[in-house]
Amino acid sequence: MAKRPFAYGKGTLRCDGVALSEIADRFGTPTYVYSADAIRGAYHEMDRAFDRLPHRICYSVKANPNLSVCSLLAGLRAGADVTSGGELARALQAGFQPEQIVFAGAGKSRSEMEDALTAGIGCFSVESEGELRLLSAVAAERGAVARFALRVNPDVNAHTHPFITTGLASTKFGVPIADASDHYALAATLPGLRAEGVGMHIGSQMTDLSPVVEATQGLAALASKLLERGHTLRHIDIGGGYPIPYGDEQPDTPGQLATEIEPMLRPLGLVVLTEPGRWLVGTAGVLIVRVLYRKRNGAHAFIIVDGGMNALLRPALYRAQHKVVAVRENSRNTRAEVVGPVCESTDVLSFEAMAPDVQPGELLAILDAGAYGFSMASEYNGRPRPAEVLVDGAEARLVRRRQSHEEIMAPEMGL
C-alpha cells in the first residue's frame, strides 16, 4: 500500500504538507480530510498489480462519492461501479466515461435502467431473472441494446464481518452460480440484451483474500462454459472487497491476489474488471473532530467530541474499530471511550478502552475514514453533514462545504 499520508511533523498531525489543526481552524469540525496523493498512489498500485492481464479498475463510487474524489479517479482513467441512479448521475458529472461504468445492485428500478441506457453505460450487473426480463423490456421499448453481466453468487464465505458478506447463498446478492447458464440461455432469447460478461462481488474488507481465489475459480469455469456455448462475453468481473489495515494487521494485497488468479484468468482472453472501493480511498482519509467535554459516569470515562455516528457510522453500524489519535503530537493515553453528541447509546467512535489524553478544545483524528465515512453520514439529530477537504500537495481545498440549517430544511416546502 502507498505510503501513509498522515504523519506528525512540527508537533502536529499533517496530511501531506498541511497541518490538520490549520484545516480545522479554516473549515471547522467535524471535517473529513483526504489526500489526493494517497488516492493516486493506491490507484497506480492496483493498476500495476493487474498489469499482466488486460484489465479495468472500476472505482466503487459508494465508498466515497465526493465529486472531486471521483473526478480525481476519472482523471486517472478509472472506470466506475455505481449502485443507484444517484451514483450514476454523480459518476457522469465527475467525468467517468459512460462505457466504463458498471451498474450494480439488486434493486434497480425502471427509471434507473432508462437513465443508464440513455447515458450509454458499459454494463448492467444483473442479479435476478426478474431484473433480466425488465431490462430486456426497457431496452427493447427504446430500440436499445443493454449490455449485461450476471452477478453470480458463488456461495463462498468471505470470512469477513457477517454484515459485509455478500457471496453466501443466504444473502440477497446475485444469482446462484448453478443457475447462471440457464439465465444466459434465457437472455439469448430475449430482445434488447447482449451478454457482456460474468461477475461477482463476495464481500468487503476480506483480510484474507483466499475466498476470492476460490470464487474466481468457479467464475472462470462458468465463463469458459459460456464461451464454449457461443455467448459473446468480453469481460470477467471479480468484484471488490480488498482489505485495508485498520489496526496493526497486515492484510492480503491486490498484488498477491492478482498473482494467484492470473493463471485462471489468462486462458479466457477476457478483460478483467475489478471494483475496489475501500482500498483506493480508505487510508487516504481521516475525520477530524474537536473535543467538547470530558466526563465520568461512575467507572466509565468519556471524551465527548463534536461528530459521532452522524459523521462516521461504521463503529455504530458494524462495531468497526478505527484508530483515534490526537492531532497535537501527544504520547499520553487515558482510559476513556470517545463518543459523539448524538442522543443514542450506540453513538461511539471508539470502543477502545484507551484514548488520547486530550482536553476540551483539542482535536482528534479518526484514522482510515476515507471509505464509507462521509458516504454514510446523515443529518440525524439535525446535525449538518461534515465538511470535506481534499489536500493536494501543499494545498487544502474545500470540496464540500458544511450545510447550513437553512439548506437542510430547504426541501421541506409549505412553511
Ligand X SMILES: *Cc1c(COP(=O)(O)O)cnc(C)c1O
**Interface with ligand X (CB under 6 A):** 60, 62-63, 81, 83, 104, 201, 204-205, 239-242, 275-279, 371
Q: State the minimum distance, in angstroms, from the CB of residue 24 to ligand X.
A: 27
Residue burial 24-41, b: 16+ Cβ < 10 Å; e: rest: beebbbbbbbbbbbbbbb
Of 6 and 173, which has the nearer Cβ to ligand X?
Answer: 173
Least distance (Å) between residue 415 CB and ligand X: 38
What one-character-per-residue DSSP string does 105-139 give? -TT--HHHHHHHHHHT-SEEEE-SHHHHHHHHHHH
123 among known catalytic residues? no
User: In this complex, which beta carbon is closest to ligand X, that of residue 198 or of residue 289?
Assistant: 198
Those residues with Cβ within 8 angstroms of residue 325's Cβ, 6 or more apart along the chain or in another chain: 13, 356, 364, 365, 367
d(CA 132, CA 151): 11
Smallest separation, CB 100 to ligand X (Å) = 15
Task: Using alpha carbons only, give the angle 111, 116, 122 rounded to the nearest 5 degrees.
Answer: 155
Q: 280 or 327, CB closer to ligand X?
A: 280
Place of cell 434488447: 192
Shortest Cβ distance from residue 71 to ligand X (Å)? 19
Instruction: Considering the candidates 58, 70, 123, 343, report the single residue annotated as catalytic.
Output: 343
Report the relative pairing of strands 6-9 and 193-199 from DSSP bridges.
Answer: unpaired
C-alpha torsion angle, residues 149, 153, 159, 165 (rounded to 10): 80
- Kindly tell me which of 282 and 340 has the beta carbon lying closer to ligand X: 282
Compare residues 278 and 290 and give the one whose CB is closer to ligand X: 278
Using CA atoms, how far residue 338 sits from 209, 257, 297, in Å, is 32, 36, 14
Beta carbon of residue 140, minimum distance to ligand X (angstroms, whole number): 26
Tell how many helices (H) and how many strands (E) occur in the chain.
12, 23
Give the catalytic positions in this structure. Answer: 343
